[in-house]
Homo-oligomer: A and B are copies of this chain.
Amino acid sequence: MATSRGYLGRTHEDQQPLVQGEPSGPKIITSAIPGPKTKAGLERLDKLQDTRAAFIMTGSNDMSDGNQEPRRKGKECLSILVMYLDMFCQIASLPLGYNSKALIDAASSPEMIQMLVNRPALGIVPHGTWAKTLEHSLMRAAPKGLTQVFTAMCGTCSNETAYKAAFMYYQKQKRGGNEITSEDLSTCMRNEGPGSPDLAVMSFDGGFHGRLFGSLSTTYTKPLHKLDIPAFSNWVSSPFPALRYPLEKHQVENDKEEERCLAIAEEKMKNAKSPIVALIVEPIQSEGGDNHASPRFFQGLRDLTKKYGIIMIVDEVQTGVGPTGHFWAHEAWNLTSPPDIVTFSKKFQTAGWFHGPELRADAPYRNFNTWLGDPVRVLQAKTILEEIESKDLVKNAAETGAYLKKELHVIENTYPKVISAVRGLGTFLAFDLPNPQERDVFVARLRLAGVNTGGCGPKSIRFRPMLVFQKRHADILLDAVERVASQH
């Protein structure tokens, strides 16, 4: 396969390498993925766990699927090019690439070992240094206007504990200082109202907010995520704008589409069967297909939530921590007032939600669990932040992403029957294939061409590289995309 545009020969003198000692590119010497060694490894694992979604095993030579340059143990910073150029990064959750020197150094610090060995129940016996750790980690990244952080272990738990906070807040307002009634206390012990009230969370068609019972009732990606699981039938979804790309070329019709969606959202807020207490929205619908909306749309949502007294939760689990060219994607909206809650996980390696003091429960132990997060992963968030700041990685995502998007548009224009709707912010980019089947084929061929990435929505391909992804890596990707597109 020839490279028509010569991406691999390019130089980028404006970008110093962020990582030293990487191989020059991916090398795939198997003719099918998973290759024979991964297959054997997965067979062994399948005796214990469902492996049907797995396709690669990483991290040891004998499982390297024949890659000629497997990662060597202890070798410094082979950050991106392990076996593949990894554009999916453990479902968008690796911030600094593989074998980050900073994370390796932090891994054996006395603080880290302390937290590994003497794991606290943070709600009742926090470590003496916990306030300081939070101040130097998560709180340094707190979105403007949010002064508090609730720590958790995954995105789903973050969203669900945020919903709980919203429900408790709503009921407290409703009581208006009156005491909790004995009816409240007795009915909640039977899962019945008024103690277990019939209140709702609103989210969007195509939105993904997790898979446990509360979050799954706000997730509307595809049936297989929801089928067979009891759900809160009065929780509400509303259409998310279906915009045309590139956005700037379709502004008039896109504006109209967003207005339509805002009008429907307002209608649903007004006429909901059960009061809508919280609204949760992703800055970019990710699992749902990399669907974008404009800052104006999100300002419209903020206005509606204010108007109807609804807690606005921005789910930055996938968009947060830099990839869009802002630390938090919602920073780009310039909202007139901050969201009430911002949830996070993935690239922070730890999870939770930022909020204001009004969303603390009115009594201790109400929004609570044994561990309340894992301080080991919070310590990592501190290192991740330090790396992001010292290496200006958010800016890197913005610049590298701008370059990659520009070149993807070039390929899109060359192969318009294959690739369309190139879109995104920073390196948080995606494009469409004509249909689901062709998308799946394209993803598989990219893997054989040395690029690992993932699909999203019905027919999209998404890129979720690490924050140290640079133009020279983008060239490897572009070369592969162009080659696969040319043969499609």
- In the complex, the answer to whether A128 meets B368 with C-beta atoms within 8 Å is no
Copies held by the complex? 2
**How far is A197 from B213 in the complex, measured between Cα atoms in Å?**
13
Residue among A172, A184, A193, A212 with the highest chain B CB neighbour number at 10 A: A212
**How far is A139 from B147 in the complex, measured between Cα atoms in Å?**
43
Nearest opposing residue in chain B for A371, CB measure? B154
Q: Which residues of B contact A189 (CB under 8 A)?
A: 220, 223, 226
- In the complex, the answer to whether B131 meets A45 with C-beta atoms within 8 Å is yes
- In the complex, the answer to whether B211 meets A212 with C-beta atoms within 8 Å is no
- In the complex, the answer to whether A90 meets B104 with C-beta atoms within 8 Å is no
- In the complex, the answer to whether A53 meets B368 with C-beta atoms within 8 Å is yes
| A91 contacts the other chain (CB 8 A) | yes
Majority-rule SS of A interface residues: loop
Count of chain A residues with a beta carbon within 8 Å of a chain B beta carbon:
132
- In the complex, the answer to whether A119 meets B93 with C-beta atoms within 8 Å is yes
Which A332-376 residues have C-beta < 8 A from chain B? 345-346, 349, 360-361, 363-371, 374, 376
**How far is A55 from B132 in the complex, measured between Cα atoms in Å?**
18
Expressed in whole angstroms, the minimum distance between the Cβ of A348 and any Cβ of chain B is 11
Q: Which residues of B contact A232 (CB under 8 A)?
A: 191, 213, 230
| A52 contacts the other chain (CB 8 A) | yes
List residues of chain A with CB under 8 Å of any chain B CB. 41-42, 44-45, 47-60, 62-64, 73-74, 90-91, 93-94, 98-100, 103-104, 107-108, 110, 112-114, 116-121, 123-132, 134-135, 139, 147-151, 153-157, 160-161, 163-164, 167-168, 170-172, 180, 184-186, 188-193, 195-200, 210-215, 217, 220, 223-235, 237, 345-346, 349, 360-361, 363-371, 374, 376-377, 380
The 7 closest A-B CB pairs, nearest first, are A63-B128, A213-B214, A52-B364, A191-B231, A60-B128, A196-B231, A45-B131
With contacts A164-B229, A374-B377 known, what are 8 further pairs, Cβ within 8 A? A42-B126, A48-B139, A74-B110, A90-B121, A91-B370, A116-B380, A188-B231, A195-B223
29 contacts between A and B (CB under 8 A): A45-B134, A48-B139, A48-B148, A50-B364, A57-B128, A58-B127, A90-B119, A90-B125, A91-B370, A93-B370, A154-B371, A155-B370, A164-B211, A168-B229, A170-B228, A172-B228, A184-B227, A188-B223, A191-B231, A192-B231, A195-B223, A197-B228, A197-B230, A213-B232, A214-B230, A227-B366, A230-B232, A346-B370, A374-B377
